[in-house]
């Protein structure tokens, strides 16, 4: 299965990465004059200070985000602003079964790469299109990234604490969530073609994916007439049937633990785990903890602040109290036993950054294994193979194209 992959950023690249992980020959198409944004974002191995704004003069092969998104893919460079470049792309499409893109609407059309043209080049082609708003409707021409999608779909509105404005999300969450919908759509189309021999055009809207994720809240609004911004909602750290119920500070910088107590038995177990402090004997906490949660939270925080999150979690869980460490990336990558057992993160070698940790696929099969055969391609690394072995050009022609800036 060969994929001519125009995708960039996350929502497209993660979608085609899943195909590459399980055997598809994904050929990532790039332009040396306009590098993929993850190649320009300075998230570098062993340099925690590198995270920040776009690098004006990046090493295109060093970026951690790009390398994480594009493992197991081939990579070529090509300038679609040239007539020869567009000819080469059409030859590659003719030799491919799937074409994917997540540009702003209209880009592929300006290059003449409509679904109709792709069918002329490859009659059974699957054309996977991924955008913020879809390719039809009054808003189809709007450009978007994950934070825009999150706001428009309503996800940003429902985040935060009671009585405060929405807090939003700390990352482009919907880039990754929509990517898995894109992967599923591509695989459904491939399965259908295996059965019928027919290709198709796929149009995935990330905004609509976000709306789907808000399903329970839409049901609440439709059936009960309750909006998501009302007094006492979102619930934040409070729960109508539990007290204490919150996230409490721990020893260390920005370290936290979640604790939830739902009944008197759990409350007594918590008090015992804390060493029966005098304040816990206050009858208000035995009979009416919900009405005194602010004061209760202050006492709990005083106790947790001198302990690590995992220390609190293990101590309380041993006594039957619901508790969990709020883990940061380092915890997940280095110490979480479940994540380690599942092999969620694994190591690959890279010719520029050396051995590095990457995120794996969240899917396990009994008879199919993820094939991590290479790290992300260096810029233009596979030009010779693709242009000579797949498209049939001579070595001299490839050198001429490189000298002319076409590839």
| Residue 131 phi, psi dihedral angles, 5° rounding | -145, 175
Residues contacting 250, CB < 8 A, separation 6+: 256, 257, 304, 305, 307, 308, 309, 312
Alpha-carbon separation of residue 314 from 308, 322, 332 (angstroms): 10, 10, 16
Whole-angstrom CA distances from 231 to 133, 155, 162, 167, 387 are 32, 18, 7, 16, 62
Quote the CA–CA distance of 127 and 20 in Å, as a whole number: 17
Q: Report how far apart, in Å, the C-alpha atoms of 114 and of each of 105, 122, 233 are.
A: 11, 12, 46
CA separation, residue 162 to residues 156, 235, 316 (Å): 14, 6, 28
Q: What does DSSP say about strands 2-5 and 25-30: parallel, antiparallel, or unpaired? A: parallel
Give the DSSP H/E element, type plus range, for residue 129. strand 126-131
Q: Which of 5, 36, 79, 175 is labelled catalytic?
A: 175
Beta partners for 346?
358
Q: Which residue has the tokens 């195909």?
A: 19
DSSP string, 323-358: EEEE--HHHHHHT-HHHHHHT-EEEE--TTT-SEEE
Q: State how far the Cα of 338 lies from the Cα of 322, in Å rounded to an integer.
A: 18
Cα angle 232, 257, 262 (rounded to 5 degrees) comes to: 55
Catalytic annotation on 175? yes
Q: Which DSSP state fits 103?
A: P
Pairing of β 126-131 and β 98-101: parallel
Q: Which residues are catalytic?
A: 175
């Amino acid at each position: 299965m060969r994929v001519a992959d125009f995708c960039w950023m996350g929502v497209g690249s993660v979608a085609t990465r899943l195909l590459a992980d399980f055997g598809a020959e994904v050929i990532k198409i790039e332009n040396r004059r306009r590098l993929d944004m993850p190649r320009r974002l300075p998230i570098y191995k062993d340099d925690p200070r590198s995270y920040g704004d776009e690098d004006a003069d990046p090493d295109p092969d060093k970026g951690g985000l790009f390398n994480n998104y594009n493992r197991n893919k081939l990579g070529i460079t090509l300038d679609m602003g040239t007539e020869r470049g567009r000819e080469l792309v059409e030859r590659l499409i003719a030799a491919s079964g799937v074409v994917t893109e997540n540009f702003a609407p209209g880009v592929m059309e300006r290059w003449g790469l409509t679904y109709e043209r792709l069918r002329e080049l490859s009659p059974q082609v699957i054309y996977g299109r991924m955008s913020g708003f879809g390719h039809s409707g009054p808003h189809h021409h709007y450009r978007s990234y994950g934070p825009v999608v999150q706001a428009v779909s309503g996800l940003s509105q429902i985040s935060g604490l009671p009585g405060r404005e929405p807090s939003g999300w700390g990352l482009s969450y919907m880039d990754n969530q929509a990517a898995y919908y894109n992967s599923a759509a591509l695989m459904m189309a491939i399965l259908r073609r295996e059965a019928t021999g027919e290709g198709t055009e796929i149009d995935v809207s990330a905004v609509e994916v976000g709306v789907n994720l808000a399903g329970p809240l839409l049901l609440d609004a439709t059936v009960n007439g309750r909006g998501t911004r009302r007094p006492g909602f979102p619930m934040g750290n409070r729960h109508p049937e539990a007290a204490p119920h919150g996230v409490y500070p721990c020893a260390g910088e920005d370290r936290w633990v979640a604790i939830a107590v739902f009944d008197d038995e759990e409350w007594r177990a918590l008090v015992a785990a804390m060493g029966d402090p005098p304040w816990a004997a206050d009858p208000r906490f035995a009979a009416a903890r919900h009405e005194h949660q602010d004061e209760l939270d202050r006492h709990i925080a005083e106790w947790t602040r001198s302990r690590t999150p995992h220390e609190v979690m293990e101590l309380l869980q041993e006594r039957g109290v619901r508790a969990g460490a709020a883990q940061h990336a380092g915890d997940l990558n280095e110490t979480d036993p479940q994540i380690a057992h599942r092999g969620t993160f694994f190591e690959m070698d890279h010719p520029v950054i050396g051995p590095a940790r990457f995120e794996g696929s969240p899917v396990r099969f009994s008879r199919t294994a993820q094939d991590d055969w290479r790290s992300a391609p260096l810029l233009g690394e596979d030009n010779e193979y693709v242009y000579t072995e797949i498209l049939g050009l001579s070595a001299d022609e490839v050198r001429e194209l490189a000298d002319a800036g076409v590839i």
